[in-house]
Structure 1
């Protein structure tokens, strides 16, 4: 089959940070003449943003109402000796459900290609099992393992020496140990289907396409030929009613879609904004009650959701938990960041922001003790932070976003697709994708 008119399935974790950019990518693929269906639990349908991507539920009796809400409760407390193992077990159960259900579901739908999120191994493994061409979509930090790159869930600085290599090796060993529930499930199904369970096989040799710009990542020396850095994949957002200026700079404050119930941390954010003469613009994702929102100090502007890409260009800085999509949107607007990493890949994202000079890092415990105010003053008064963010904004503007990523996916899904060396000039790389 040629690339024209494919039916492409998107397989991803059931969280907004993965679904939203992939729906944007899928919408661009639909505009190019393909049929795109996101496949997951029935409860996921309500989470999808408006776009041209269809949705299909899993064909499996274990997919029941309320399963997604149970999973989210575990993701909302992802740290500590109890929370972390519980979250990993829940993630493993999600992968097991997908592995059990996807072969029949994709066959029934007549899917002939897959876009597999790098964080959910079921997508690539099922594509290999069914003999479907697939590409790897990297919606967060690139997870490709290199000796000098710290594990992606640790806030370690980059060190290109023996100490850094040894430290990273130890970190990967611990990470592998913690992730054994997921690895065990994937290995079981790979062996059942007669496939190599090596984790490297989950990465497409056709295309590995990332939202992450090269300038944000740590320096890499072993990227595969099929890897491409990129820029945020976004749907056009409605124009928000931007509040009229009262002379105070606006500071965007967000904890993403999973951590928005942390009223005390939002209070520390809005108090810090008031202390520096700024006004907080709070997006709590529905996590705060009306009473909690009304009690935040500092006269903040508060909504469950703002049109993030519309409001950020009006802001002088952002205070964020380090969620990857919000970080990319802030950088795309040239906005410097104070980051308070909480979980997942957020400490690693914060370490990269610090390295390029676009952010200051404040630990959550320090934020509760007044640590946000001096950090915010620094990013507002030192022009180096905005300059660093501006460099990333320029890089991402050249990379083209979802439409250019979709062109790369189209090229990669051709029957005669071949990979080209990584590290091409951006203009050459984009032309190659569109050819």
Structure 2
């Protein structure tokens, strides 16, 4: 069996995806090690999953970095986030070669958002698989960049708009591009000019299913496998306590759970509509802040997949994991995108008719109430969400992803199956 190394950014949602895939590879008899930035591995994860970290860097505070990522503030905030990400890539490229040689790595499975994975694999001549925990980042002229809220428009006007977005993104990502180019040169590789040059050309895995993406040009090395989750039975929530009143579940993820004003607007809208409201702030609020939100339940964490089985609507920041969990349960969404790829995911929610979108700067109890009323009353939202949910149930998930990784390691990745491109 092979020794597979997992590399991903130090964000909770990305770590959980890679832990699920790592657990499946462990179950199949492989050795699996996380290579992470210093301070990025607080959780235990699956039994047998090993961890190695880069050496701590003077002046680099991971908690402060994550806090900045949670509060993007305009172009300067974006530039700061790009600089932070480049610093993490720099750490992995500096310490990674020695660690990977020491532990005897046979292959790298890397997050598509972390270019160090591709750089290290090319430098050491290791098989490499890219996994998109967020939206896929490979170029497609008809698909807007992940961090943009633009609708899908394959017309010449839309293609021109997308090219303009690419030019702006290139400028904003200058720090990242320079870091990638510098390490490619240091490793003796061909010139690299950005994240796309660091993706695997053997296999790229996405958590999407085709029915929840914009149309893309097919490629044999790109595979949509559905959510990467730890395999476990799904419990159906007990709905007796709420009687017949619909349930609205609200979560803004681990990075955005501090946004009390959004939660208060949702709670007030639910009270006015006479529906139940459960809010999970993921540890983002203090007890006093949580206590000032008048919902049926305000807590840090809940078993999300379980509660969504009883929910009528999910209010979400449009993070990939929450959105896929909602679709798997056939639950329509009110998306309030904030950062990263959330605007792009919200655009897909609207495109496929599985929910509505509100700008975070325009969130008010009245606007939330109007959207929730439509989502609760119009059956088409739930019907379309349920249809995508059926596709997710048949998508293959973590087992199919592990199959693809194994094939890539063995150099036998050749077949193209339905729903995998």
Contact 2:236 2:310 in 1 (8 A): no
* Deviation, structure 1 residue 48: 5.3
Q: Could you say which residue in structure 1 is the equivalent of 2:340?
A: 344
* Deviation, structure 1 residue 239: 5.9
Aligned pairs for 1:274-353 (under 5 A) are 274-297=271-294, 299-353=295-349
User: Is 1:266 paired with 2:259?
Assistant: no
2-structure distance, mates of 1:323, 1:51? 27
Q: Secondary structure at 1:314's aligned position in 2?
A: coil
Q: Could you say which residue in structure 2 is the equivalent of 1:433?
A: none
Q: Could you say which residue in structure 1 is the equivalent of 2:104?
A: 110
CA shift digits 1:36-65 (9 cap, x unpaired)? 11111342221454555222222x35278x
Q: Could you say which residue in structure 1 is the equivalent of 2:229?
A: 234
Q: Could you say which residue in structure 2 is the equivalent of 1:137?
A: 131
Q: Could you say which residue in structure 1 is the equivalent of 2:142?
A: 148
Gaps of 5+ in 2: none
Q: Secondary structure at 1:370's aligned position in 2?
A: helix
* Deviation, structure 1 residue 285: 0.8
2-structure distance, mates of 1:330, 1:281? 14
Q: Could you say which residue in structure 1 is the equivalent of 2:66?
A: 72
Q: Could you say which residue in structure 1 is the equivalent of 2:219?
A: 224
1-structure distance, mates of 2:70, 2:310? 30
Q: Secondary structure at 2:154's aligned position in 1?
A: coil
2-structure distance, mates of 1:417, 1:189? 29
Aligned pairs for 1:29-108 (under 5 A) are 29-47=25-43, 49-50=45-46, 52-58=48-54, 60-62=55-57, 67-108=61-102
Q: Could you say which residue in structure 2 is the equivalent of 1:247?
A: 244
Contact 2:180 2:193 in 1 (8 A): no
The partner residue of 1:177 within 171, 178, 183 is 171
CA shift digits 1:55-100 (9 cap, x unpaired)? 2222x35278x72202112101123133221111111111111111
2-structure distance, mates of 1:231, 1:78? 28
Q: Could you say which residue in structure 2 is the equivalent of 1:357?
A: 353
Aligned pairs for 1:182-197 (under 5 A) are 182-196=176-190, 197=192
1-structure distance, mates of 2:167, 2:365? 34
The partner residue of 1:124 within 118, 122, 127 is 118
1-structure distance, mates of 2:44, 2:367? 36
* Deviation, structure 1 residue 366: 2.1
Q: Secondary structure at 1:302's aligned position in 2?
A: strand
Q: Could you say which residue in structure 2 is the equivalent of 1:425?
A: 418
Q: Secondary structure at 1:38's aligned position in 2?
A: strand
Q: Secondary structure at 1:335's aligned position in 2?
A: coil
Residues paired across the two proteins, number = 417
2-structure distance, mates of 1:87, 1:45? 20
* Deviation, structure 1 residue 370: 2.4
The change in CA–CA distance for 1:83 and 1:212 in structure 2 (over 3 A counts) is same
Aligned pairs for 1:398-413 (under 5 A) are 398-413=394-409
CA shift digits 1:244-290 (9 cap, x unpaired)? 22432111101101011111111011111222221111110101111
CA RMSD, aligned part only?
Answer: 1.9
The change in CA–CA distance for 1:399 and 1:39 in structure 2 (over 3 A counts) is same
Q: Could you say which residue in structure 1 is the equivalent of 2:253?
A: 256
